[in-house]
Amino acid sequence: MQDVGAWALLPVVTILVVAVATRRTLFAMLCGTIVGAVLLGGWAFFDSWVEYLGTAMADATLQWLVLVVVLFGILITLFERSGAVSEFAAWTERFVNSRRKSLVLSFVLSVVLFVDDYLNVLTVGTSMKGVTDRYRVPRSQLGTIMKLTAAPIAVIVPFSTWALFFSGLLEAQGVTVDGSGFGAYLQAIPYIFFGWIALAIAILLSLGVFPKLGSLKKDIRRADETGDVFPLGTTDEEREAEGGLPAQIEVAEIGIQGDGGTLAVASPVAVATRAPSIAKPRPYNFLVPILVMIAVTILTEVDVLKGTVAALIVAIILYVAQRRMRVRDVFDAAFAGVGSMMFVIVLTALAFMVQHMNIDLTLADFVIASTQPYMSGALLPAVVFLVCGIYAYATGSFWDLAAVITPIVIPLAFAMDVDPIIAAAAVFSGAALGSTTCLYGDGIILASRSTGIKPLTLMSAILPYAGIAAGLSFVLYLIVGFVTQ
């Protein structure tokens, strides 16, 4: 490990600056890894870069994530080519007939898919973008509601991948209730303030009663005026590739009278086109694999990989048995599904490189040392939340963050006579904040893939809302800290 002090922030700052300046997340991530390699390897930075690439690719977590992403890419392609998504969208027309209802349904699906945030954003984006497109909902708004729900619901519901992992951390640090870390986690749930507030904002935003802020306000106004649900600058080819229709020219009647009556001219207004009418849609072709995925995931001790494999097997059996797809079509879809996730895989590998570089640059130690002078018993929960939130946002490290910070925070809480459960809840809130907002975090990357927009566009839309949730959470941790001292 190499302690470089404040220079440890340089790779992260480089990524954020380049991403905002160029609006190219992949290029920004590459620049960040090169800067990190220079700091760690000096003139031998190329050898250092290659070494960290190898370290990232050997990371068991990355290998697991790539496998899940590839399998889900295949599943998504099967959904699309079999017509399962189109039929699900057509079926929803029976009870979804407005923008508000389409957004509420998106929120409800995000809550139902609480078992894992990866499963959540990939499934909801894939299934709902066709529905929300019909009601001129910008893809960035759908993505915002998804991300404000995915990690927060996973950290609040105790039967999720997040909850089980964090329960294990508590038990490892001797924080138990009735002899188990799970019991301690149950007591921590009311204090995971960011999760609760983010969920409240998500439901209010889906109901249309929360103010439209920042770039999302512009996207909504543009979608209302033109019907184009994609960000400004999206090409027709990109729309088609991401499941949307090219902007179309609406023929409008204007009041110019001539010999032939009113003159109809082409007005450059992009309009959303309704999905093709399907006489008897079969929603079970989409719902059954998803329900199997949820059930198997829960029954296998929240193993998302096994759940995804089960859903894939069920989907193939359904579509081949109904002669919707031939075996050859399934293989073609599998190859296409793997290819569709290559951008996600490369971006995630670079993100893991940054995480390993941050560890060797001792970024966590620098952040903790910088904030330690401000820590006191009453301030501990608020400072821990702030540090964890900033660190998670800057590094794209969420579970890793909790694994590194929890063993530091719990002894501090005991030493300062602070309830360790409240201190741990602040760590978990900070991890959820980072997952919800980090430009190169796996949550944003997967959500942007499923909604068909760029990670920077999605992060820009989310930040004002996540910022409000973070600010309110900080205040609540201050209050709790002083009240419980």
DSSP per position, 145-165: HHHHHHHHHHHHSSSSHHHHH
Instruction: List the one residue out of 150, 208, 222 whose CA is nearest residue 451.
Output: 150
How far apart are alpha carbons 380 and 426 in whole angstroms?
9
Q: Copy the structure tokens of residue 151.
A: 């990690």
Q: Copy the structure tokens of residue 249.
A: 């020219």
Quick one: pLDDT band at residue 246, thresholds 50, 70, 90? very low
Asked if pLDDT for residue 434 goes beyond 80, the answer is: yes
Q: Is the pTM of this model over 0.95?
A: no
Quick one: pLDDT band at residue 287, thresholds 50, 70, 90? confident
Residue 2 CA, chain-centre distance (Å), reads 31
How far apart are alpha carbons 384 and 387 in whole angstroms?
5
**209 vs 359, residue with greater confidence:** 209
**Token pair 């995000």 in the structure block, residue:** 110
Amino acid identity, residue 450? S
pLDDT score, position 277: 53
Q: Over the stretch 340-383, which tens digit does the pLDDT of each residue have?
A: 788 878 877 887 888 788 878 877 677 767 766 766 778 889 99
Phi, psi of 36 (to 5 degrees): -60, -40
- Find the distance separating the first CA and the last CA of the chain, reported in whole Å: 37
Asked if pLDDT for residue 401 goes beyond 90, the answer is: no
Asked if pLDDT for residue 242 goes beyond 60, the answer is: no
How far apart are alpha carbons 385 and 330 in whole angstroms?
46
Q: Over the stretch 159-168, which tens digit does the pLDDT of each residue have?
A: 787 887 888 8
Instruction: List the one residue out of 122, 153, 114, 25 whose CA is nearest residue 447.
Output: 122
